[in-house]
Amino acid sequence: HKQGVNNLTVYNFQSERLTFQTLLTYDKKIGDHQINVLGGFMDETFRADYSSAYAQGFLNNDFSELNLGSKDGMKVDGGAKKLILRSFFGRINYAFADKYLLEANVRRDGTSRFLGSNRWSTFPSFSAGWRISQEDFFKESSLSDVISELKLRGGWGKLGNQQLAATSDNSYPSSDAYYPGLFTISPGYNYSFGGEISSGGAIVESANPILKWESTTSTNIGLDLNFKNNLGFVFEYFDRKTDGVLLKLPVSNLYGLPAPYQNAGKVQNNGVELQVNYQNSIGDFKYSIAANGSYINNQIKKWASDEPQVNGTFYIYEQGRPIRSFYGYETAGIYRSDEEYKNSGIQGVNGTVGAGDIIYKDQNGDKKIDGNDRVYLGSPDPKFIFGLTSNMSYKNFDLSLFFQGAAKVQGYLWGEAIGGISGSDKPTTIFADRFN
């Protein structure tokens, strides 16, 4: 609880998550044939309750119980939510002579977050692998002297998502950001009837009755290659298409309520992943090293609106661009003097522009900087991701190293990062590069 001068607020929050799961498995091997079957059912129920109470007018600050405060000004608040997810699932694995590998999965998921027939959806997946190095023709070739493992694999699958973004600009997904069915009506709104104030409620959120599962269809093909000198390679190409992306998109002010969630469109992610690893030992010294890198291309293929949609302060959704791209003013340095700004003939964003201020590009040539000069600035999601891990040991000593990085990614500095230094900030090198 939180106690201030002559007032007290008590908060209470409790939640429970109950999961019931039952599984049935079957394994059988007949000669070179190996089969494994799994089937199951899962039920997950989540419930959360919140309450708060406020009182004031205590005789002194030593009293810390709500009932010891004045009855005048007492306030209570609270809320609850309950969510259910049910799933039926099955999987079959088949292998022949440890050379041909097949797997098939299917899920039937139902959620309380959606309505009617949209609550349930089916998600199948398939994968196959061919261990070429186990074939007789490979074992009899000279390649078997250098290659210990050669495997070709591929797969196709469909997965569902029911989680919603936690913030209005869709920037942070959260497992606690659920379909707002319980919060469409809120109390605490007063109305005047016959000259008297009466308490009541109001619609504060709009639920979307046709909201449905977001689904991602993935296709991948890969190659695993291991040499007998302890050198290995893993290569994979992937293509993921997400349909019915769950987002809030801007609506007209005439709507009168915050934007509801909707299935906004289709987004594609495709690219390649590569991993190289090596391990060896020299006496008591053992070491391994692995490097990985990936290239990812993200693009909106279809959107709910044909026109670009600006969401929040600096995000834009535009067909053909990466999802949640940065949108704003492009810069071209800073004004070195007041005369430089005056000679530019450009009217600034606000009335006071001079030496030391940022030069914003006049994209449409109308000699003024306004909202029409904002352009696409890049994506917060990197195109390249890479990493390096290494493990070393000598007798009873060991050392592990891990490095990772990203490239072709943009960031957005805001708040104290580009403003003045307040009492809670620690100056960094960004301020050392200020205009002088």
User: Given this model, what pLDDT does residue 390 score?
Assistant: 97
Backbone φ/ψ region at 74: left (φ over 0), alpha (ψ -120 to 50), beta? beta
331 domain residue, yes or no: yes
Phi, psi dihedrals of residue 425, rounded to the nearest 5°: -100, 155
386 domain residue, yes or no: yes
Q: Across residues 184-207, what is the average pLDDT?
A: 78
Is a pLDDT exceeding 70 seen at residue 411? yes
Share of the chain above pLDDT 70, in %: 87
52 domain residue, yes or no: no
295 domain residue, yes or no: yes
> Does one domain contain both 247 and 284?
yes
At 313-334, the pLDDT tens digits run 788 999 999 998 999 999 888 8
> Does one domain contain both 270 and 295?
yes
Is a pLDDT exceeding 90 seen at residue 65? no
Q: How far is CA 93 from CA 27, 96, 133, 155, 220, in A?
A: 9, 10, 20, 13, 18
Q: What is the DSSP letter of 337?
A: S
* Other residues' Cβ atoms within 10 Å of the Cβ of residue 81: 17
Tell which wins on pLDDT, 195 or 281: 281
User: What total of structural domains would you count in the chain?
Assistant: 2
Q: In which band, very low, low, confident or very high, does the pLDDT at 200 lie, cut at 50, 70 and 90?
A: confident
Token pair in block for residue 251: 């609506």
367 domain residue, yes or no: yes
Residue with tokens 């195109």: 383
Residue with tokens 């991602």: 216
Is a pLDDT exceeding 90 seen at residue 397? yes
Domain boundary among 194, 212, 230: 212
> Does one domain contain both 229 and 194?
no
> Does one domain contain both 201 and 265?
no
Are 48 and 39 in contact, with CB atoms under 8 Å apart?
no
Is a pLDDT exceeding 50 seen at residue 192? yes
List the domain range (segments joined by +) for residue 388. 17-45+83-176+213-431
Residue with tokens 């309450």: 51
> Does one domain contain both 196 and 298?
no
User: Given this model, what pLDDT does residue 185 score?
Assistant: 67
Highest mean pLDDT (candidates 190-194, 215-219, 362-366): 215-219
322 domain residue, yes or no: yes
User: Given this model, what pLDDT does residue 5 score?
Assistant: 55
Is a pLDDT exceeding 50 seen at residue 352? yes
Is a pLDDT exceeding 70 seen at residue 416? no
Please give the radius of gyration of the chain, using alpha carbons only, rounded to the nearest integer. 30
Highest mean pLDDT (candidates 53-57, 310-314, 350-354): 53-57
- Sequence-distant (≥ 6) Cβ neighbours of residue 342 within 8 angstroms: none
> Does one domain contain both 145 and 188?
no
Tell which wins on pLDDT, 372 or 21: 21
66 domain residue, yes or no: no
Of 69, 75, 61, 73, nearest to 5 by C-alpha is: 61
* Other residues' Cβ atoms within 10 Å of the Cβ of residue 2: 10
> Does one domain contain both 94 and 193?
no
> Does one domain contain both 270 and 290?
yes
Q: Across residues 56-73, what is the average pLDDT?
A: 83
Domain boundary among 212, 236, 267: 212
> Does one domain contain both 191 and 160?
no
Q: Across residues 405-423, what is the average pLDDT?
A: 71
> Does one domain contain both 386 and 277?
yes
- Sequence-distant (≥ 6) Cβ neighbours of residue 148 within 8 angstroms: 133, 226, 227, 228
> Does one domain contain both 184 and 326?
no
At 164-180, the pLDDT tens digits run 754 444 444 444 444 44
Q: Are strands 325-328 and 375-378 parallel, antiparallel or unpaired?
A: antiparallel
- Three-state secondary-structure class, residue 21: strand
User: Given this model, what pLDDT does residue 180 score?
Assistant: 43
186 domain residue, yes or no: yes
Kindly tell me the burial class for residue 31, based on how many C-beta atoms sit within 10 Å of its own C-beta (0-12, 13-18, 19 or more).
exposed
Tell which wins on pLDDT, 21 or 195: 21
> Does one domain contain both 27 and 121?
yes
User: Given this model, what pLDDT does residue 174 score?
Assistant: 42
Is a pLDDT exceeding 60 seen at residue 366? yes
Q: In which band, very low, low, confident or very high, does the pLDDT at 4 lie, cut at 50, 70 and 90?
A: very low
Domain boundary among 168, 186, 212: 212
At 78-136, the pLDDT tens digits run 888 888 999 999 999 999 999 999 999 999 999 998 989 999 999 999 999 999 999 99
